[in-house]
Amino acid sequence: MNAETLLSILIGLLQLLASLPLVLAADKIPPNPLIGFRVAYTMTTKRAWTRLNKLMGIALASIGAIAIPIGVLAGTSAEAMFLAVADTSTVFALTEYSRIYAERESVKEPAPLGQVEPVKGVERALKVVIVLAALGTIPPTIIIAMNAWSEGLYAAAVILLTLPGLPLYLAYLSLKRPEAYAYPWLSSREHRAITVLSPVSVSLIVAGIETMLVHTLIGIALLVVGIALAIAGLWIVLSASMKHSNSLKDQ
């Protein structure tokens, strides 16, 4: 067994093993800001959380298992291309399904786990910021992917083209479905902040990673700002979750 074959097995096996906790213990993991399939739709009821997280775990574990023979037979580049496309498509598809499932479950179990304040969208100026940040990931992606393709790096080109998918989808959620960010422990103000920070931070991180391949200094600057905004968003979610937990204990 050569090194590339061993690496292919290891890559697929890592995703398979990382997904197993969701498959085996989704019902034991409560809704939280760190672990699991964490869009607000999955947190509407305990039943929704358990089912949707288990489904995500099964999907990602299956993709990891399928990736192993692909890597062994076609090489690590083909395996990486398959994982990039399959994992991204799975997250998008299950997010859409989770919305449908949550709406159906709310009829059966109308007592939600959280979010007592009405969900509001963001102001027009912030919508412009979200759109510009997400669209800003496209030009460097196209340039770098074309260069990779011209050099025969076809798998790298395909993987690069999948990168803007996440910020564009997050921007779509922010503009059209802001309830996807309405975690049970967030106030309306905190929710609006996360609705902006999530797509903008991911957009800057993606743009920074790609721009570094062309202009290192600009790429690093974009990456640093994106990471800083992502940390700020995570801090808001974690601190709000801790306050919510403490208030429940005091009751």
- 76 and 36 in a common domain: yes
- 217 and 121 in a common domain: yes
> Over the stretch 96-111, which tens digit does the pLDDT of each residue have?
999 999 888 765 554 4
Return the closest-CA partner of residue 30 out of 46, 44, 52, 11.
Answer: 46
C-alpha to C-alpha distance for 144 and 154, rounded to whole angstroms = 12
What is the model's pLDDT at position 93? 95
- 124 and 238 in a common domain: yes
Is there a contact between 56 and 37 (Cβ–Cβ < 8 Å)? yes
- 126 and 95 in a common domain: no
- 13 and 56 in a common domain: yes
- 127 and 92 in a common domain: no
Specify the 3-state DSSP secondary structure of 60.
helix
Q: Which amino acid is located at 173 in the chain?
A: L
> Over the stretch 75-90, which tens digit does the pLDDT of each residue have?
888 999 999 999 999 9
| Residue at a domain's end among 98, 113, 128 | 113
- 140 and 52 in a common domain: no
C-alpha to C-alpha distance for 237 and 186, rounded to whole angstroms = 7
Is there a contact between 153 and 78 (Cβ–Cβ < 8 Å)? no
In this model, does residue 113 exceed pLDDT 80?
no
What is the model's pLDDT at position 35? 87
Tell me the average pLDDT across 18-30: 90
Domain that holds residue 72: 1-113
Number of domains in the chain: 2
Could you report how far apart the first and last alpha carbons of the chain are, in Å? 60
Query: What is the pLDDT of the chain when averaged over all its residues?
Result: 88
> Over the stretch 197-221, which tens digit does the pLDDT of each residue have?
999 999 999 999 988 887 889 999 9
Packing angle, helices 138-150 and 154-162, rounded to 10: 170
C-alpha to C-alpha distance for 31 and 46, rounded to whole angstroms = 8
- 194 and 174 in a common domain: yes
What is the model's pLDDT at position 117? 52
| Residue at a domain's end among 66, 87, 113 | 113
| Residue at a domain's end among 60, 87, 113 | 113
